[in-house]
Amino acid sequence: MHLAYPAVLSVLLFCTGLYGVLARRNAILVLMSVELMLNAVNLNLVAFDVWLSKAAEETLHSGQALTLFTIAIAAAEIGIGLAIVLAVHRNRGTSDIDKLRDTAEGPDDDGPDDDGPGTGTPAARPAAEKAEATA
């Protein structure tokens, strides 16, 4: 088998995953797209390992070993990422990436008479300074 077939499939998988990361709003779908990109890299590693092992007399299969490490790291990443997404969904009620904000920020109350974070009532100044310090 030629190297071009798995390489083209890997490029298609990676581009599909990249589109999913850039276009999706749901955090779970973004994590699934990252997994698709990692699987494309794994396919490339195994394909090049098989291709290079045919040329070399001694085969170390380092591409396949690296693929096993990548699969283990991807499994840990999806477990931790999914736990974070579920915790955020439980607290906020949504997993939409655009609607998520830092917990230190309040609602937008930028009115037409607001000149900046240092102005306003004295009670509002510490909250604005705290929001600037955490940003």
39-83 confidence digits (pLDDT tens):
999 999 999 888 888 777 667 788 888 999 999 999 999 999 999
pTM: 0.68
DSSP, collapsed to helix, strand or coil, labels residue 59 as: coil
CA-wise closest residue to 48 among 63, 34, 30, 70: 63
What tokens were used for 16?
């599909």
Instruction: Please tell me the distance from the alpha carbon of residue 35 to that of residue 75, in angstroms, as a whole number.
Output: 9
Of the ranges 57-66, 94-103, 123-132, the best mean pLDDT one: 57-66
H-only helix segments in 56-113: 62-92
Instruction: Please tell me the distance from the alpha carbon of residue 102 to that of residue 130, in angstroms, as a whole number.
Output: 12
Q: What is the DSSP letter of 113?
A: T
